[in-house]
Structure 1
Amino acid sequence: MNKESNSIVKVWEAAVRKSAGPKKRANRIFTTPMSVAHVDDDVYQVEKILGNGDFYTGQWLNSFPNGQGKYLWTDGCMYVGEWQKGNITGKGRFSWPSGATYEGDFKNGFMDGKGTYIGSNGDTYKGFWVMDMRNGQGTQSYCNGDFYDGEWKKGLQNGHGRYQWKNGNNYIGQWMNGLCNGNGTLMWQNGNRYDGSWEHGFPKGNGTFRWSDGSFYAGVWSKDSNEQSGTYYPSDDDDPSDDIPSDWDPMDLFTVDLNDCRVCGLEKVSIFPSQKNLNMFGLEEDSSNKKLLSKKGFDANGKPKWNLGDERMSNYSSEDGSYSSYDGSRSPMIDHSIPRVPNLRLKAPKRQGETISKGHKNYELMLNLQLGIRHAVGRPAPSTSLDLKSSAFDPKEKVWTKFPPEGSKHTPPHPSCEFRWKDYCPVVFRALRKLFKVDPADYMISLCGNDALRELSSPGKSGSFFYLTNDDRYMIKTMKKSEVKVFLRMLPGYYKHVRAFENTLVTKFFGLHCVKLPGASQKKVRFVIMGNLFCSQYAIHRRFDLKGSTFGRTTDKAEDEIEPTTTLKDLDLNYIFRLRKAWFQEFHRQVDRDCDFLEQERIMDYSMLVGLHFRGISCSEAGTPSRNSGAHTPTGNFDDGAPRLSGVDMDRIVIDPSRWIQLGINMPARAEMTTRKSCDTPQLVGEPTGDTYEIIIFFGIIDILQDYDISKKLEHAYKSFQYDATTISAVDPRLYSRRFREFIFRVFVEDTS
């Protein structure tokens, strides 16, 4: 057995040396022919040296590794274990050249299930994994002697757990994002202990510090000494006293006692198994396989073709996010490239909006907005429960605050004019921000930081102004009084809906406010803060606003006039979007739920906003890199070497799970071009042509604050005299909901390939 293993390693090492030779040698797929033809339905043993020097030995079925097999990369990584239809799936062992190993369950190339990771420094994790991240119950032994036993989520301690330091100190309690958070107890080796609330790794809120002699200090804890308060109880006296021992200060807990209670960090994984390039392309001898995939990506027998020449393609690329294979699972070894249609030319996305600087007509309004938001979010408030009383939704539940330029007891001095500020239902929106996992500090920095807002031209007929934060995370929209009334009326239902359905596609709202300006007019500017659907590391090349109606639903722009910021409409749509089965089923369910909610609230005239990022397609102009990622907008003509996220960005994705795929966010899909027949009646959805692009798609339901009021009823009556009543947008909410769903489910379909 050892002789056989040694011979395999020698052959592989020889291949590594050969791979460093002239590139033309790489065109010979196998260094030595080591297998003969077999019947496709039979499992057989193969040994293959691949074009880039990688080596595979193991079982083979239907042109894929299937069963037990070993794969060695030229960089020293190795996988030994089970394969399923070309995927690393089942039990196996992955080893890194650094000496680190993982042994356990794999699923579609990911460490997924139960497994043990031993780092190069000796760190050991035993427990459950989901998509390369610690997730579930697990224990972590650190090389410095520390130990953690408890729950994990998305790679970090989360839930209930116990952390034991080498020096004997230990913490038992709640965790969030790798830090003590919630209720917990920290016990020192000397017998002292703290019981109480924690936030972001530090005591915060009600808690008690006890000494080993029985005395204790109970009160409210904070790193801010101004918020710190409490009472000292000596051990030999039942009467409490404000006289704290002279040799101790409550702030010592933060500056001294916690110094030797730091949570150890995790060893950085250089590259995950799911990121490794499984370079098995070109396993067919037929020269036709050296071409790109056919129009549908399959050969004459209906099997996926394997691409020969592109050794740059990554197994898991965060840029393309591919998860599909011929059986619906993710196959990292199949080239899912779709033939490029030569006539598609995209302009490079440009930064939207006009920066509001001094001298801009709305500069003072922007200052007022930022001052008011900073005051509203930063104002001390009790911890918000997600179970709200009905009184919190009362439209009369609002707070007025006066902002004089010289400042007041509750407001800072400012360079703008005097104004009054109103918060609508502040408790509800504080709960919504908590529900949507918005950190208050990040929220304030985005909206009220040193960077100015950007004003967008209104894309619709409402006449509203739109403002975008500098980091693109939030959008501010001015509102009419009628829209505010509708929003406040539906707020209880909205809160209940978004709390019940985490994957809801309806707009996320974070705050509703009003600025009252001075002067005779006493002008009021009402506005709502929303999430920006297109805040992503991907450049948005095309965007569509889809309603399911035809009257007036076109931009009438030639292809060369369409900018990435142009919002196209129903009759401009020339694609259908193919979602993998699991995503399509969830999409179908969620659209039904959201439409039922909007119909119940008597809302109509809403849209499905769709953004497309075309993978591997270059723009006709130099692009501007996204501010949220290292991924860049490609330049030049079509480039087979599509841009990929850097290793640093991959680390960010693992650390920041919010950048993972969600329903409507960062979703890999396929866009198939359609063409409309020439006829008098506009055709909403054209006929598929078979020309398909791989895309990253974003979508959500927007403009959900228009009810079927008297103005819309009059609009419906007027337009019905002139046009077909079924083609206009202003229709009864029930009809609108049915028509919207029928259209959306024709545009979004299940990918059966």
Structure 2
Amino acid sequence: MTMEIVLDGDVYFGDVKGMIPHGKGKYTWSNGTVYEGCWEEGKMTGDGRITWSSGASYEGDFSGGYLDGFGKLKNPDGSIYIGSWRVNKKHGLGRKQYSNSDIYDGSWKEGVHEGNGKYAWCNGNMYIGNWKGGSMCGRGVMKWLNGDLFDGHWFNGYRQGSGVYRFSDGSYYFGMWTKGLKDGQGMFYPAGSRSQSSRRLGKKKVLISPNSSFRSERFKDTKRSIGRSLSDKISVNGIFRDSGRISSKRVSLEEDWSTVDSAYDNTDILSDEGESEVDEISVVCEREYIQGVLIKEMTKNHAGSSNKREQRKFHMKGRKKKSSADIFEGHKSYYLMLNLQLGIRYTVGKITPVPLREVRHSDFGERARLRMYFSKKGSQLTPPHSSVDFYWKDYCPMVFRNLREMFKLDAADYMMSICGDDGLRELSSPGKSGSLFYLSHDDKFVIKTLRTSELKVLLKMLPSYYNHVQAHDNTLITKFYGLHEITLRGGKKVQFVVMGNMFYTELRIHRRYDLKGSCQGRSTNKDAIEEGTTLKDLDLAYDFHMDKSLRDALFKQIYLDCKFLESQKVIDYSLLLGLHFRAPEHLKAHLVPPDAFHRPQKTPGDDSSTSHMDLSIPPKGLLLVTHEPSSVNTAPGPHSRGSAMRAYSVGDKEVDLLLPGTGRLRVQLGVNMPAQANHKVSQDISGSSEAELFEVYDVVIYLGIIDILQEYNMRKKIEHAYKSVRHDPMSISVADPKFYSKRFFSFLEKVFPADI
């Protein structure tokens, strides 16, 4: 039945069902918007065309009154989108040409770029790779019009993590990036530093030209997957209205991939399985950057085969690490990891529903525990699993449940961090204990195996520890969240403690130090130092100056924590210090140009502009501003709680740390603390030249007191007596708890001197 309906200025002419549009018809709104197409019980459903009063038009599929399916949208500014829709939003595969002639071709989600896609700018630049939330995120390749090319990892539109940058002149740089800036250590290979040679990749043989760069085989697979996904959609049947008649059209999204392929001209492939044959020695420049500023450079000659190892090392550094399941399949550490996840999931799930209450005396001690047998086949209380049979023991569950509540750790988030499908990553032990270390996939938690003696010390001090943490919101002592034991069928027992990761931050930690306040044996072999190496007392070449109120609060808490540890007769603890360096704006002009390796290296004294630079200029890389809870994430991390800290420089008010180009962070004790690092000594590495461009740095500090489970027992007293005969008793690490505490505190006062 066809009829005309007029309602409040709107006009409909077409098929109806009762008095509502149903079938084919044309609806004209009073504001000038017109829809012509299919209807179903009063809603636009099927194929149709709508033109808005603004001049925008859409032709394609509708469902329930929404743009849903496949269609073409033209906007008044000249932009055009052809592709998939879901509930009025671009969703699926599609192509958009923007008003400025930029083109995006790839996957969409909820109206933004997400998944694999290609973006070609009108100026000739092009990116192919992964997207998330509308920004370049994941693995991708960017090629600029001038011939430069970057192949690596991205986050939120910036180069982030490891990657390879090939310059148009044929030189290339392997290294790390943070927020789009070189940040950390890397290797620079000048153009023409190697001759033409061949590289074998399995059965392939690829010619390497002087203008080539290395690229991972894995990204070729990404490019092919983009091509396949778009090819599956390049011809799509759509039903449209055309001049009042229904017709069938094929909308093409075909793209000339020759422009994509040209991004890889003269580009060879880096493969872990491939063998490299290089005939000549290459010039290699080892560089270190902080926030885009080159601070160190060492030029060396390397054989080609060693170049390949260095290149692979830096190319792999920022990749997402494999899970423990992939790396340690079939080994005990893998089974321990699975058992740990099963046990924690069981414990947290069992204790969380219990009403929260104050802890009692009976909640402490070795007898306060949950015990469960996990059969591989499963039982009424435990699920079947792929690990080995084991007994699980959870010590003081109510105490640790309350500790997690103190630090506002959600039980579900805690389980997902440790027990999620991504698993745990095993780390190499940074100390001499031989303990296994696991890191949760989101980096929030560290899990460490304990010796039986350490477990007993923790259980013994737990009541006092609980009271200390409860009384001091900003204690710097390690945060413990769980104490567990796994017993395998053979009788082997393994104890674990779950701790907060003090270096859980979005900022890169450039330097790590483990400081005890002693000097005997407290240095690191220079040949063994890498970017992630934890250095020691004698390696520290800085002292740190910070706001008076921040420093006062810091040392007040260090004093209280030291007194607590002294009362527990604990020694051998240390301050774990992490430094994130910021490059001050007034130093950015001293960035070493790319052709610096062609010129003789200068020492800072050779360059008058550097040696006479006014280092007293207030740093601009960091700024303390009055705390605004609405501007920062006020939820504490797994290592801190309490209010924002007060700073003397802003009138003793709570402050946030403003990082230009990065964000705004809440300043808390031991977390996001700004300081100025003064370089005390210039260290030379034997056999190479080292240039330092400046001596004053802006840093963001993360710190905490770790390794608090060593009691001053009879064995330690004997060790102290023995070492005192061979070395100065004041310099050795093992000492009486009272003396250890005093020496530790005095040493830190020198590291963080008070400004006069």
Q: Which structure has more strand as a fraction of its residues?
A: 2
When normalised by structure 1's length, the TM-score is 0.47
